[in-house]
Amino acid sequence: MGNVTMSEQTEDCHAWLGPLVTKLSSILGKGFEDVRYEVSVPTDSFFVSNLLFVNIVSNASSVDDDEANKRLKSVNVVVKRMPPETIQEMMRSKEQFHNEILFYQKYAQYYDRAPRCIYATEESSLRDSVIVLENVATKRGYSVCKWKYDTPLEYTLAAFREIARFHAIAYTTKRTREKEFFDFVDAIGEVRFYPESMFRDMYNGTATRSLHFLRKQGHDKEFCDKLEARLANTYEDLILKFIEVEEPLATLCHGDFTINNMLFKKESDEPKVIFIDFALIRYGSPILDLSTFLCLHCARDLDKVMLDNVLRVYHDSLIQCLRENDIDGEDYSYEALYEDYKKKGLFGFFIATFFLAIQMGKFDGEIEDFAKMDLTEWVALSRQIGGEEVDEILANMLLKLEEFGCLDYIL
């Protein structure tokens, strides 16, 4: 394994990466018996796992080969390993790796637009667990979206068309392969919503962040008092209700439907999207996905008109995909979707109360910094990141969601 190119950040990975590349060479087969590899670390997005880009190059390549032949003799992959031990328990990394491997081994055959999984192993020694995927950036020309928030509408619509397809395929699989589908669903590990989850304190501690701003602006005191009382136990009274399975709308959700977990490219001058990172998949309302994206990436633009428009685009794409799979859409009417959004659309808002500021780049630390704090300090910091600018965005978004009807079920 000669000719290794590594930055200082990746030199410590050589001991385990060399044997992994040897294993991958045998999987890649003819022409890859003798290879070298080059490693780089992605810097243009937010990743919790330990992520490396690896280019495996056949030593059989000749400098006289034309470009087409050179491409055939190299493979670009993404290698995912467990994050540092300091955050493994906090992030439930074991369950996350289990879920992503489960997705690729048991479900990706039905959803054909995910990156191809080349190799994955779930080991008792967490540091030995690894997932190797095709690098769709080099293989298919996709790249990260430069808009991490205030995302242009065309990118939002592209994301919603594809998540509609993702959800529709789950509806189809549930209908046509019921036992296989629910065996898969039953094997999904819980990452966020379990007894003693740190998210309990996070949701409860940040849910009312916007109300302080509304009070300062002289907003209706009765409204603020009533909502503040209602949100005292947001996690138990609302979040755990939002994630309850309700048929027939329950579907396989991506679970972390954010701009960080999708890649885009332009085709015929329109953005196309591919999803990555299926570690937080769960079975539940499609609104869990939709509200998460809108409240994190369209927070300033989220009003009734915008919601109506994107939900229409989502629903049209959903019904089209169902029809392509010979599934009638009777159970999935627009009216049912609309009502479900009114009922559960605050799910994404509550995520935004502690994550929007980070998504906007208002926190310049590392995720490991949170692991050094006790939970009370972490919650207090999360309420403050971004200051009044984020307070105002959250407050305005809350009022727009009220206009849509998202507070009807809780007040």
Instruction: Encode pLDDT of 207-236 as tens digits.
Output: 999 999 999 999 999 999 999 999 999 999
Q: Where are the domains of the chain?
A: 8-140, 153-404
Sign of CA dihedral 236, 242, 243, 246: positive
Structure-block tokens of residue 364: 């310049």
Is the bond leading into 152 cis (omega within 30 degrees of zero)? no
H-helix or E-strand spanning residue 358? helix 346-359
* Tokens (6 digits) for 144: 């990260």
Residue 79 has pLDDT above 70, yes or no: yes
- Cα 39 → chain centroid: 25
User: Element (H or E) spanning 201, and its range?
Assistant: helix 198-206
Most confident of 135-139, 194-198, 326-330, 391-395: 391-395
Report the 10 Å Cβ neighbour count for 281.
23
Does the pLDDT at position 71 exceed 70? Answer: no
Q: Above pLDDT 90, what percent of the chain?
A: 74
- The b/e string for 201-218 (b: 16+ C-beta within 10 A; e otherwise) is ebbbbbbbbbbebbeeee
Residue 10, pLDDT score = 45
Report strand pairing: 117-121 vs 251-253: unpaired
**Which residues on neighbouring strands pair with residue 283, listed in sequence order?**
252
CA atoms within 13 A on the CB side of 14: 13
In order of 10, 20, 78, 129, 370, the CA distances from 27 in angstroms are: 24, 11, 15, 17, 39
CATH no. of 8-140 = 3.30.200
- 391 within 8 A of 213, measured Cβ to Cβ: yes
- Bigger pLDDT: 6 vs 89: 89
**Residue-level length of the chain:** 411
Find all residues with CB under 8 Å of 327, minimum gap 6, and list them. Answer: 168, 171, 172, 175
Distance, CA of 328 to CA of 320 (rounded, Å): 10
Q: What is the predicted pLDDT for the residue at 7?
A: 43
Q: Does residue 2 register a pLDDT over 90?
A: no
Class in CATH terms, 153-404: alpha beta
Mean pLDDT lowest among 43-47, 167-171, 262-266, 351-355: 43-47
Dist CA 356 CA 349 (whole Å): 9
User: What percent of the chain has pLDDT above 70?
Assistant: 91
pLDDT at 83: 79
